[in-house]
Amino acid sequence: MLSPCEIGHRDKARSVIGVKNPLLARRPDEPVPGGLLIAQVLWFLAGVLFLGFGGFLIYEHSDTASLNFGAVALALFFAVAGCACAVLGYRLFIGERSARANLTWLGVITALPLLLRFGRYSLLAAIIMFSVALMWTPSSNRYFKIVSPKPAKTRR
C-alpha cells in the first residue's frame, strides 16, 4: 500500500494505462444561456460568411485579365477572419473565457470598418456586432464565472 508523504500526497503516482485523451474537448455540463448559444451559432455563421465573401470576391474579379492587389488582400483578410471566427467560435462553444475576449477584439477590429465603409458587407458586420453584444450579457458573465473562472491574483 502507498504511504502518504508529509503533506498528504502519495509518494508514487498511480499510472493509468489505456486511457486516451479525447480529440475534441468536451462541453461543460453547465446549461448555456440562450443569448450565448445564439452568439455561438452566429460566430460560426460569420466564419462561413467571411470565407464565402472572400471566395466570391476572387470569383468576381477572376473574369479580368489579372487580379488587383486590393481584391487579393481583402480576400486574404476574409479568409483569415473566417478561420479565426471558426476556431474561436469552437473555443467559445467549449466554454473558454479567453475565446470570448479574443472574439470581442476580432469583432471590433473586423466589424467596424465593414460597417462604416463597405456597403455589401454591412450584414456581416451587424451579425458580428450583435454576437459581441450577446457574449457580454449578464447571464453570459455568470456562465463564464462558473465554467471558466479567472485565476486567482498572485501577491507580489
Please tell me what DSSP assigns to residue 18: S
The pLDDT value recorded for residue 22 is 61
d(CA 50, CA 81) in angstroms, rounded, equals 7
b/e for 23-47, b at 16 or more Cβ within 10 A?
eeeeeeeeebbebbeebbebbbbbb
Q: Is residue 103 scored above 60 in pLDDT?
A: yes
Q: The cell 483578410 sits on which residue?
A: 77
Q: What is the pLDDT of residues 104-134, one digit of tens each?
A: 999 999 888 888 877 788 888 999 999 999 9
Q: What is the pLDDT of residues 33-49, one digit of tens each?
A: 999 999 999 999 999 99
The pLDDT value recorded for residue 40 is 93
Look up the pTM and report it.
Answer: 0.76
The pLDDT value recorded for residue 19 is 53
d(CA 86, CA 93) in angstroms, rounded, equals 10
d(CA 109, CA 155) in angstroms, rounded, equals 34
d(CA 84, CA 90) in angstroms, rounded, equals 10
> How is the chain split into domains, by residue range?
43-146
User: Which ranges in the chain belong to alpha helices (H)?
Assistant: 34-61, 69-93, 97-117, 122-135, 138-147
The pLDDT value recorded for residue 8 is 47
Q: Is 61 exposed, middle or buried (0-12, 13-18, 19+ CB in 10 A)?
A: middle
Between these two residues, 156 and 146, which has the higher pLDDT value?
146
Kindly write down the DSSP assignment for every residue of 96-116, as one continuous string: -HHHHHHHHHHHHHHHHHHHH
